[in-house]
Amino acid sequence: MTFTGKSVIVTGATSGIGRAAAEAFGRERASIVLVGRNETVLGEVAAALRAAGAETATIATDLTKTEAAGAVVDAAIDAFGHIDVLVNAAGVIASGTLEQTTDDTWDQMMAVNLTAPFRLMRAAAPHLKRRKGAIVNVSSVNGLRSFPGVLAYCVSKAGVDHLTRCAAIEMAPLGVRVNAVNPGVTVTNLHRRSGMGEPQYAAFLERSKETHPLGRPGKPDEIAELIVFLASERAGWMTGETIPIDGGRHLTCAR
Catalytic (active site) residue 153 = yes
Number of other CB atoms surrounding residue 201 within 10 Å? 15
Q: At what angle do helices 116-131 and 68-80 cross, to 10 degrees?
A: 30
**Which entry of 153, 171, 178, 246 is annotated as an active-site residue?**
153
| Pair 7, 124: CB distance under 8 Å | no
Angle at 144 between CA 118 and CA 181, to 5 degrees: 60
Let me know if 17 is exposed, middle or buried by CB neighbors in 10 A (0-12, 13-18, 19+): buried
Distance (Å, whole) CA 107 – CA 248:
30
Distance (Å, whole) CA 223 – CA 245:
7
How does DSSP classify residue 111? I
Distance (Å, whole) CA 244 – CA 130:
30
Catalytic residues: 153
